[in-house]
Amino acid sequence: MRGISYWFFLSAALYVAAGMIFGLYMAISHDHTLSPAHGHLNLVGWVTMAIFGIFYHLVPHAAQGMLPRVHFVLATVGLWLMVPGIALAIRGTTEALAALGSIATFVSMVLFLVVVVRSHRRVV
């Protein structure tokens, strides 16, 4: 695995490890208040990033160009803002980071949709 698919997969593996540590902390402390942040870390960080990596690996021509790189950066920044942002929102501090992270994550998904559609056009 090379290129952008590698970076998505490496990120996914790091995020699932972080998610497991987060889950262990909650289990040991018996405090599951931050479960939504944990869930988003696992779903967006592990599952979604791994799916992106699989797609780019299986459709290598889709991984070419600037758009997949922008996709990776936006997906990463979105996750980095969203997960702590959810924790801050739960704690009643601010919802701003969660909102910004959610928007960045959504835009990254729209970019991925563009990449998928463009890759189909190239094959057909």
pLDDT in tens, 56-106: 999 999 999 999 999 999 999 999 999 999 999 999 999 999 999 999 999
At 1 the pLDDT is 78
Q: Is 1 helix (H, G, I), strand (E, B) or coil?
A: coil
- Cβ-Cβ contacts under 8 Å for 68 (sequence gap 6 or more): 4, 56, 62, 115
CB-based contact 77:54 (threshold 8 Å): no
Q: What are phi and psi of 30, to 5 degrees?
A: 60, 25
CB-based contact 60:54 (threshold 8 Å): no
Identify the domain containing residue 50 by its residue range.
Answer: 3-123
CB-based contact 119:59 (threshold 8 Å): yes
The number of distinct structural domains making up the chain is 1
pTM of the entire predicted model: 0.91
